[in-house]
Amino acid sequence: MAIEPHRLPLGYSVNFGTDELFPGLGLACRNFQEELTRYMTYNASAECPDDEALALQLMLKGCEPLPRRRCRPRSPARYVEPKPLPASLWSIPADTTVNWSPYTCKNYTCLVERAHSRGGSYDCKDCFDLAGKERRRWLSDNGGPGFSIDGVLGSRPPGTVRIGLDIGGGTGTFAARMRERNVTVVTTTLDLDAPFNRFVASRGLVPLHISLVQRLPFADGVLDIVHSMHVLTNSVPAAVLEFAFFDIYRVLRPGGVFWLDHFFCLGPQLNATYVPILDRVGFRRLRWKASPKLDLGAERNEWYVSALLEKPMT
């Protein structure tokens, strides 16, 4: 029922060009029938299964968007209201705002302490620690790949950067800093072993739960700025990156800017693979900074690149 077409009650629609309404369903969903069947096995009009991890697994395999269901997700016990803005921007929410069963950590204290622990392959390890490194991000320009928000906004005509998107924005700190400057930014994020979406929302910001391969859910030419840090990297297949860059170009308005923040790759890959991709997309370079990425050793020949790229006016 959730994945089959439904007849329109009033018959053929000129706007739709059909007499049926087809639910949105990711093409890859049909490649994972066992997982999809498990996801769609539930009691209608009752509480949804506790299967957030399964839903995320399907999304990461390309089953996106997931089919709709007719069940109610369980609300956390002893839920408390979020703090009002602007205090919410830099506050850790109550633990009772989250169902912790899908995650290794069972409270926000555990997530904050990840920033101070050694080892562990956690996504965005230190970004729940709002009093640490996260608090200082984008406040100053280091003369290299570390651009500042004020420097980027200052490069545009005053007041023309109003709405934007942060791709893979973790806990929403980029959007928080932009909101302090009266810019509305939507943050895409996934709940990879932590409640990233709920955390972003608790800060009074807008999370968007989509993966990197999903077409951006915006019309052509509507955004003033798109930002992405540490997500669009050489860990993503080059063809997928090219589609992503063209999609970013699509949603930017003429004169809008793409802030590619700390993209990293191997030295030989930069000019052989990634610069040609960006050149094919058609951005105009406003700023471009590259420097060695030394955290894992100079012998790895890894590089950071940050760029401010403009969609031409014509």
Token reading at 192: 């990879």
- pTM of the prediction? 0.93
pLDDT of residue 121: 61
**What kind and span of H or E run contains 137?**
none
CA proximity to 165, closest of 211, 224, 212, 226: 226
Domains of the chain: 6-60 (no CATH), 137-168+212-310 (3.40.50.150)
pLDDT of residue 55: 97
Name the β-bridge partners of 21: 6
pLDDT of residue 124: 86
Please work out, in degrees rounded to the nearest 5, the angle formed at the alpha carbon of residue 71 by the alpha carbons of 188 and 50. Answer: 65
Digitized pLDDT (tens) for each residue of the chain, 314 residues in all:
567 788 888 888 888 888 888 777 788 898 999 999 999 999 999 999 999 999 999 999 999 999 999 999 999 999 999 999 999 999 999 999 999 999 999 999 999 999 888 766 677 889 999 999 999 999 999 999 999 999 999 999 999 999 999 999 999 999 999 999 999 999 999 999 999 999 999 999 999 999 999 999 999 999 999 999 989 999 999 999 999 999 999 999 999 999 999 999 999 999 999 999 999 999 999 999 999 988 778 888 999 999 999 999 98
**What kind and span of H or E run contains 60?**
helix 52-60
Distance of CA 285 to the CA centre of its chain: 24
Cβ neighbours around 112 below 10 Å, total: 19
Cβ neighbours around 260 below 10 Å, total: 24
pLDDT of residue 2: 63
Peptide bond into 86 cis (omega under 30): yes
pLDDT of residue 294: 82
Residue 248 near residue 99 (C-beta atoms within 8 A): no
Distance CA 301, CA 292 (A): 7
Cβ neighbours around 33 below 10 Å, total: 9
Mark 286-299 as b/e (b = at least 16 C-beta within 10 Å).
Answer: eeebeeebeeeeee
